[in-house]
Structure 1
Amino acid sequence: MDPDYFKSYEMCWGTLGTVRPFSNFHPDRDVSEIQAALEKKDAVNLVRILTNRSNAQRQLIASTFEEMTHKELVTALKKALSGDVEVLLLELLMTPLQYDAHRLQQAMAGLGTDEETLMEILCTRSGKQLQEITSSYKQFYNKDLEKELKGETSGDFAKLVVALLNKENVAGVAQKDIETLKASLGGKKADVGPWINILTSRDSDHLKTVFMGLELENGQMVAETVEKRFSGDIRLGLKVLVQCIEAPDVYLAKRINSMKTSIVQGIMVSHSEEDLLCIRAAYIKLTGTSLYTALQEHFKGEHLQALLAICRSED
């Protein structure tokens, strides 16, 4: 780990992210070191530099690299590296909006759709962020994100993802929302409409109050109600949404615990400058093992070193 990390820790003490701006930052010096590492195909130094810079600093490194070499850093990395470490460093060079758009695109690519990754991103981003991600998706893929989501999903699940993509907070009365959700469960088949409408248009504090009231009325947790009364993709979607309303860090820690490369990387990269410290805390509470230690049990080589650098430290 670079010694200047500790200076940057003090400089940005208020963040819940693990990756912070590098305090002694000189993009031209970084580019010179990166050039030397690329020539030697030295993954260790490439990992050391790119994981110890904030995303904004990485963008400046990429533009400086192009100015100095008349080549794109992404192209140069592809030539010098391979495997998981290549994928991870390329992901680190995307802007946060690009990366979320990329993950959504990947979740819909090929045969079958990764519904849970769609839900993870849609549930953990604000309405404003999702508007910006939609613009980024249009810019990089020249496709309309909402149309893509509709084309890859169907039925009530499609209605849920579209509602999440266009979510905006609307004031609601807690008791009225509790009564509406309870009434939706009264028939032989539960009516999912009110669940989609209310859970995608209220802020999390309001919904936590609604959930408490509904749990008192029904005598069971909201997650249990969803599990029993719904089925298929809409059940998965509502379960993820409920978990993200109640405790997004716990949900993301559970998801990381799968230790699937794409999931671990996706969450760690996208949350590294936001709330990865919270996810780390939830992970150790959930599993009894720190994320830093768990990563060492499942990954190896330069890829592991890059993940450990993003994770930052033992808990």
Structure 2
Amino acid sequence: MSYSGYPPYGQAPPQHGGYYQQPPPPQQYGAPPPPPQGQYGYQQPPPGQYGQQPPYGAPPPQSGYGAPPPQSGYGAPPPQSGYGAPPPGQYPPPQHGSYGAPPPPAPPQQYGQQPYGAPQQGYGQPPPQHGYGQPPPQAYAPTYPPTPPSLGYGPPQIIGWNGDADANGLRQAMKGFGTDERALIRILAQKDPLQIHTIRDAYTRLHKRDLIKDVKSEVSGWFETGLVAIIRGPLQHDVHMLYDAMSGLGTKEKVLNDVLLGRSNADINAIKSEYLRTFRRRLEDDVRGDLSMKTERHFMIVLGATRAEDSVPVVKSEIDRDVTEVYNATEAKLGTDEMKVCSIFSTRNDNQIRAIAYEYQQRYARSLEDVIRKEFSGHMEDALLYQLRQGLDKYMHQASLLEDAMAGAGTKDHLLVSRVVRNHWDRNHMANVRGAYEKRYRKNLASRIKGETSGDYERLMLACIGEVI
């Protein structure tokens, strides 16, 4: 079963008027083509009740980390047919503007009249610009609703769920001599961000104590790191990871990539606001202080939160233009216009990036990943590859990031903890990541984690990926 509402790998998003249906994707990262995005053997459990929250495995009431926008409701576009040709007679013929269909006849226009639906330009207003860091003009169309913030990144909410019992259970697990680590895992590992916030508030209200301080005084090591990451919730965890990545000597570039790249505008703005509130410092200033030259400019575009919303459609003419610009900025010239490529990758949504990668392969018989590896290096190369792979298949990409944290000599525990916790907030997402991992690496993610961790740290990571502890 596919992840609810998410278009399969290689399928264009729902369109306004059916402008473009994306063809099948190219082979990526040297592996066989993955299955449709979100279809990695995960089966949705039957609906149930858990207070007023969705059951384990069901999508949360709001979009979780990396979840697609709602597909219905006011302002939502109608769904389109998916990848591949439908059986004869099952679906209506392609509409004008669909990929591969003849273009619609141009409507008659009067002298000086703009095409129907074109952006209006006021008297004395300069023509629209499309420079570095600016999304395509269609991103400003008022008919495309913004991508909602991920669960835990929006305004505080009061949910119909009581956290008093769990708050008392946590206190009992840490009270007196010794600590019941399994109780801490059982209570915390499978709660969503809103439930965690409710439990933390209830703990303070009932016991006049700070839950994070109590956990830090009772446990240690990577087990402590994982529990604290969960208790903080996804937004606070992100800002603390960013702060720690830029503190002291050197910069943990992979942490910057994990937290900031491929995020919605709503999430980026929430992260910037929370960073300022928590540390009394502007995130942009700290990033400028730790990065330099064109990589700094790349991340300034990202932090500008000008990415096309997920509801913005894939338009064939704009994809062709982006492909031409990427080619002209890389292979077509001596030297590379790095900022042109960074701008395109940072201001297009995942569906548009997927379409750009496919069209580039079709036109030039080379994958965009190979082009990036040839034309870029260092942190900028890693960042562009991150954005490309996230657009191609977010589940497979997250699976590869988990393997990256465990591969080689020694485990990169700070990355393993943060990546497992970040993925676990959305249980459907985590289930699809597990399926993608098994598809690519031919091994079970739980077994892989067992080989790299131990003790309570191991049990916490396994519980976060959905194992019964």
Q: How does 1:290-301 map to 2 (within 5 A)?
A: 290-301=444-455
State the 1:303 CA deviation: 1.1
Partner AA of 2:433 in structure 1? I
- The aligned residue for residue 97 of structure 2 is none
- The aligned residue for residue 15 of structure 1 is 59
Q: Under a length normalisation based on structure 2, what TM-score does the superposition of the two structures give? A: 0.61
Partner AA of 1:130 in structure 2? I
Alpha-carbon RMSD across the aligned residues, in angstroms, is 2.5
Partner AA of 2:254 in structure 1? E
| Residue 320 of structure 2, aligned match among 153, 158, 175 | 175
State the 1:198 CA deviation: 1.2
Say if 1:169 and 1:82 are closer, same or farther in 2 by CA, change over 3 A.
closer
Note the alpha carbon deviations across 1:53-104, whole angstroms, 9 max, x for none: 3222222222111122211111111111111111111111112211111122
Q: Under a length normalisation based on structure 1, what TM-score does the superposition of the two structures give? A: 0.89
Structure 1 CA distance, aligned partners of 2:394 and 2:57? Answer: 22
| Residue 299 of structure 2, aligned match among 135, 142, 161 | 161
1:29 lines up with 2:183 in the alignment: no
- The aligned residue for residue 77 of structure 1 is 215
Structure 2 CA distance, aligned partners of 1:26 and 1:127? Answer: 31
- The aligned residue for residue 268 of structure 1 is 420
Determine helix, strand or coil for the equivalent of 2:232.
Answer: coil
State the 1:178 CA deviation: 1.3
State the 1:207 CA deviation: 2.1
Structure 1 CA distance, aligned partners of 2:164 and 2:382? Answer: 48
Say if 1:147 and 1:10 are closer, same or farther in 2 by CA, change over 3 A.
closer
Cα pair 2:242 2:255 within 8 Å, conserved: yes
| Residue 233 of structure 1, aligned match among 372, 379, 383 | 379
1:277 lines up with 2:431 in the alignment: yes
Determine helix, strand or coil for the equivalent of 2:440.
Answer: helix
Cα pair 1:43 1:302 within 8 Å, conserved: yes
Cα pair 1:124 1:248 within 8 Å, conserved: no
Cα pair 2:396 2:433 within 8 Å, conserved: yes
Residues 163-172 or 135-144, more deviating: 163-172
Say if 1:180 and 1:165 are closer, same or farther in 2 by CA, change over 3 A.
same
State the 1:12 CA deviation: 5.8
Note the alpha carbon deviations across 1:158-211, whole angstroms, 9 max, x for none: 111111122324577111111111111222211112101211112221222222
State the 1:29 CA deviation: 2.2
- The aligned residue for residue 400 of structure 2 is 254
Equivalent pairs counted in the alignment come to 306
Partner AA of 2:432 in structure 1? C
State the 1:232 CA deviation: 2.5
Cα pair 1:15 1:273 within 8 Å, conserved: no
- The aligned residue for residue 340 of structure 2 is 194
Partner AA of 2:416 in structure 1? V
- The aligned residue for residue 313 of structure 1 is 467
Say if 1:29 and 1:167 are closer, same or farther in 2 by CA, change over 3 A.
closer
Structure 1 CA distance, aligned partners of 2:191 and 2:453? Answer: 22
Q: How does 1:41-190 map to 2 (within 5 A)?
A: 41-170=179-308, 173-185=318-330, 186-190=332-336
Structure 1 CA distance, aligned partners of 2:381 and 2:356? Answer: 19
Structure 1 CA distance, aligned partners of 2:462 and 2:358? Answer: 38
State the 1:301 CA deviation: 0.8
Query: Which blocks of at least 5 consecutive residues in structure 2 are unaligned?
Result: 1-46, 66-150, 152-159, 407-411
Partner AA of 1:295 in structure 2? I
Structure 2 CA distance, aligned partners of 1:12 and 1:313? Answer: 12
State the 1:306 CA deviation: 1.0
State the 1:7 CA deviation: 5.5
- The aligned residue for residue 215 of structure 1 is 361
Cα pair 1:104 1:117 within 8 Å, conserved: yes
Structure 2 CA distance, aligned partners of 1:108 and 1:247? Answer: 29
Determine helix, strand or coil for the equivalent of 1:124.
Answer: coil
Structure 1 CA distance, aligned partners of 2:360 and 2:305? Answer: 22
Larger radius of gyration: 2
